[in-house]
Structure 1
Amino acid sequence: MKYVIGVDLGTSSVKTLLVDLQGEIKGEATASYPLIHERPGYSEQNPEEWVNGTIASLQQLLRESGISPEDIEGISFSGQMHGLVLLDEQNNVLRNAILWNDTRTTKECREIEQKLGDGLLKITRNAALEGFTLPKVLWVQKHEPELFARAARFVLPKDYLRYRMTGHIQMEISDAAGTLMLNVPEGKWSEEIVQAFGLPEGFCPPIVGSSEDTGTILPEFAKLSGLSEKTRVFGGGADNACGAVGAGIVREGDAMCSIGTSGVVLTYEEDKNKDFAGKVHFFNHAHPGAFYAMGVTLAAGYSLSWFKDSLAPELSFDEMLKPVADLPPGADGLLFTPYLVGERTPHADSAIRASFIGLSGTHRREHMARAVMEGITFSLAESLELFRQAGINTRRIISIGGGAKNPVWLQMQADIFNTPVVSLKNEQGPAMGAAMMAAVGSGWFDSLKECADKFIAYGKTFEPIPANVAAYTRLFKLYQQVYSATRELNQGLQEFRG
């Protein structure tokens, strides 16, 4: 039997997944590593922690599965996006990586907008936000000039890990799309952007595809991890691209709703000329020649966790949500907006905060819980509405994450989205997507579409209930008024926040 490994290099831990020819999971292991918060708004990590964590995870995976390393044909990666890893001429790391959730770069974002103007959206199809890589590059260039003068190139987190495995410096395309330096429609680095900010020649590494062969395991890494030197290493993908592949989002008409701490709505697209005017993210997909549009709710599952920790700490999630099923849509006239930490789509606003609208003395905890679930789903529906306005038709939505664990919430999604919602039988997220890229790269399948047909098993389909759809259509219009009605209030409250 032959196998592949998917490596999911996350923000707090790395997960490795062993998968056979039928897509069956034969082993998994994880290892955690710390974040570094030197100042408020700063979020960094030591890239060596990624390497050590991956080695530990691979050792455990091989030990517990009992699989011969010689039977592992390929390995590929999912990686946390946007993180800046600066390398010198000898590919030594110059400083801690600045991560996607670091917010120090607001001034650099405004500088990018001023210098590039309309060209930014035309080239990159994405607005300048603190999470992206180019603002981090400019921050180091401005605040650490002596260190930046030694920088020969940069890579992203999973691409650095792949370099340590193979000795080759490359950057995979779906991850490169999140740097604000890639011409997304053309799939190549933008010379205009590189030159506009005085970046050194060769600063942007060669681009590779998600299932492209990038080499084999170096002897020293093989010795440390237990892998065979013959195992082939493939490009991998950005975590959202891998999550989409792992959910089978590889055809037009399919979309994904992922509710974790944050929430994501993502749809597959093959038209490179789609233009969302920067209102949603538009990135190169892991499937060759394809793209995905993505909207983000910053506090999706976090809103429900906050509610439970604050008002029902003694209950499990199942216990807290059980009475929600007995309530009608609209929670007896109560609305919630999930802006606990600001919002991303469609309102890129760091000052806005959450609201309960319509709260009365007759409302109980279960009404508030249902309102929180509905508010999270309404926020995600705003991204879907932007997709539809751009002419993207969605025939079904694959739901993953915490929102897929509760049948009431799955039905709620179908009703609010007015689209059939499907769960997965065995959800493994981005690690499975990475394994699928290794499977295609190893020649098991001709495409990710063919691999998805074999590897992905779907669970129950939740069809929209017409009466609920009608009620939620009216409620959604009210929900959409809350942001504009509370924006100035929240700006005024900023001076009173700790």
Structure 2
Amino acid sequence: MKYVIGIDLGTSAVKLLLVNQNGEIKHEVSKSYPLIQERNGYSEQNPEEWVAQTADGLKELVRDFRDEAIEGISFSGQMHGLVLLDESNDVLRPAILWNDTRTTSQCRRIYETLGEDKLLEITKNPALEGFTLPKLLWVQENEPEILKQAKTFLLPKDYLRYRLTGELHMDYSDAAGTLLLDVGKKEWSKEICEAFHLPVSICPPLVPSYEKVGSLIEAETFGLSQAPGVFAGGADNACGAIGSGILEEGKTLCSIGTSGVVLAYEQDSDKDFNGKVHYFNHAAPDAFYAMGVTLAAGYSLNWFKEVFAENESFDELVHDIASVPAGSNGLLFTPYIVGERTPYADAAIRASFIGMDSSHERKHFVRAVMEGITFSLYESINILRESGKSIDTIVSTGGGTKNKDWLQMQADVFGVEVVKLSSEQGPGMGAAMLAAYGSGWFHSLEDCADQFLKIGETVKPIEDNVKKYRELFSIYQEIYHQTKSLNRQLSAYR
């Protein structure tokens, strides 16, 4: 039996999967590492922690498989993080991560220098604090001596891959999240680099996610008798899409974790969403994806649990929501507890319960929170549909699949069949699939998905609920506009 390894470099841990030719996960290992948060809004990590924990994880993963044929390794990784390297490819400073928010003034500078229309024309995305270019500009303004020493920059998984192969590259799907890539042309934008006095040479060579970029160096130190090929890999959301089978038009992913993501496959390089949703290169060949984000999806439900049901499990918290009708008896919740991304990109907006009366019990509030999260995700689906996109199947992953009533809620709010996979490994599985495809096991990623991914459950929408949720969604959409001014006034008291 042959194997591949998928490595998912997350924000808090690296997860490694050993997958055989049938798509079966034979072993998995997770290793955590800390965040560095020296000031409010700062979020950094030491890249050496990624390397050390991945090396330990690899040794543990293959310990009982030393004589087996491990043919390929590929990666999924947290997007947008900035790793600066000097002439010797040594790290110049801790990596600035995707969830670091120090770069508001640099985002303004991007708009003032380029203009929003030009930025969207080239990168297909707005200037947000999480992206890489604002981080580069922050270093340029605040640590100029560091930037002067920088020969190149990488994203987190690219640095990890460099340390395992000795080769420097970045794939298109991760490069699309830097605000330096011409997404349609699939090349670094000289215009953007020149506008901000950055040499184009600071940008690393670009490769497809499935391309072999080297082999594992010093394989014997990990207990391997031969060096597996190493493939570029992709951004975590792109790999999550591959690992969920989002590989053709009409298929859309809804992932509910701490944040929530709606991701739709796109074939065209010139699709224009006017910055309302993200538009990135896919890790699949010659493809793209549109993506909307709910900042506090599962986090909103977790917040409610910690405040009002601290000593209960999630199963206990949600066990009786089926007894509450769709619409929670006129109670609505907006999940803006840390601001919102899609479609508002508003860091100041805050959450609301609307419609409370004395008849409401805790179970109504729980269902309202779950419905509010689902409505927020539907905002992204609605934008995609308004652009003319056909969405006929939604694959649901993450916390939204753990409760059958939430799965039904998604089908009813979205108005289409919702599919749950029999095994959920998302980005890590997507990375393993890139390694399998790159190793020549399959003619296409679609063939790989047919072998690796199986449907566990399909939930059909209930038409009466679909109609009710459409009416409630119109009211839900008004809440943001009605409360925006109030929330800005209240911010002075926080």
TM-score bracket for this pair, using the shorter chain length = over 0.9
Of the three residues 94, 98, 101, the one matched with 1:100 is 98
Tell me the alpha carbon deviations over residues 476-498 of structure 1, each in whole angstroms, 9 at most, x when there is no partner.
Answer: 0000000000000000011110x
- Quote the Cα distance in structure 2 between the aligned partners of 1:440 and 1:429: 16
The question of 1:425 aligning with 2:387 is answered no
TM-score by length of 1: 0.98
Tell me the alpha carbon deviations over residues 273-307 of structure 1, each in whole angstroms, 9 at most, x when there is no partner.
Answer: 11000010000001111000000000000000011
Of the three residues 281, 286, 295, the one matched with 2:283 is 286
Q: Identify the residue that residue 474 of structure 2 maps to in structure 1.
A: 477
Q: Identify the residue that residue 260 of structure 1 maps to in structure 2.
A: 257
Identity across matched positions, percent: 63
- Quote the Cα distance in structure 1 between the aligned partners of 2:316 and 2:196: 54
Tell me the alpha carbon deviations over residues 349-380 of structure 1, each in whole angstroms, 9 at most, x when there is no partner.
Answer: 00000000001111110000000000000000
Aligned 1:147-296 pairs, distance under 5 A = 147-219=146-218, 222-296=219-293
Q: Identify the residue that residue 129 of structure 1 maps to in structure 2.
A: 128
CA contact under 8 A between 2:217 and 2:227: conserved in structure 1? no
CA contact under 8 A between 1:152 and 1:200: conserved in structure 2? no
- Quote the Cα distance in structure 2 between the aligned partners of 1:224 and 1:358: 62
CA contact under 8 A between 2:190 and 2:200: conserved in structure 1? no
Structure-2 change in CA distance of 1:199 and 1:70 (3 Å): farther
- Quote the Cα distance in structure 2 between the aligned partners of 1:168 and 1:223: 19
Q: Match of 1:202, SS? A: helix
RMSD: 0.9
The alpha-carbon deviation at position 316 of structure 1 amounts to 1.2
The alpha-carbon deviation at position 224 of structure 1 amounts to 3.8
CA contact under 8 A between 1:62 and 1:69: conserved in structure 2? no
Of the three residues 456, 461, 481, the one matched with 1:459 is 456
Aligned 1:58-97 pairs, distance under 5 A = 58-63=58-63, 66-68=64-66, 71-97=69-95
The alpha-carbon deviation at position 226 of structure 1 amounts to 2.8
Residue identity opposite 2:237 in structure 1:
N
Aligned 1:407-418 pairs, distance under 5 A = 407-418=404-415
TM-score by length of 2: 0.99
- Quote the Cα distance in structure 2 between the aligned partners of 1:454 and 1:181: 36
- Quote the Cα distance in structure 2 between the aligned partners of 1:253 and 1:12: 33
The alpha-carbon deviation at position 202 of structure 1 amounts to 1.2
Q: Match of 1:267, SS? A: strand
- Quote the Cα distance in structure 2 between the aligned partners of 1:273 and 1:188: 15
Q: Match of 1:149, SS? A: helix
CA contact under 8 A between 1:2 and 1:21: conserved in structure 2? yes
The question of 1:8 aligning with 2:5 is answered no
Structure-2 change in CA distance of 1:399 and 1:201 (3 Å): closer
The question of 1:441 aligning with 2:438 is answered yes
Q: Match of 2:474, SS? A: helix
Q: Identify the residue that residue 316 of structure 1 maps to in structure 2.
A: 313
The alpha-carbon deviation at position 229 of structure 1 amounts to 4.8
Q: Identify the residue that residue 46 of structure 2 maps to in structure 1.
A: 46
- Quote the Cα distance in structure 1 between the aligned partners of 2:445 and 2:142: 43
CA contact under 8 A between 1:80 and 1:100: conserved in structure 2? yes
- Quote the Cα distance in structure 1 between the aligned partners of 2:413 and 2:260: 15
The alpha-carbon deviation at position 230 of structure 1 amounts to 2.3
- Quote the Cα distance in structure 1 between the aligned partners of 2:400 and 2:225: 39
Residue identity opposite 2:370 in structure 1:
M
Q: Which runs of 4+ in 1 moved over 2 A?
A: 222-230
The alpha-carbon deviation at position 70 of structure 1 amounts to 5.5
Unaligned 5+ runs, structure 1: none
The alpha-carbon deviation at position 315 of structure 1 amounts to 1.6
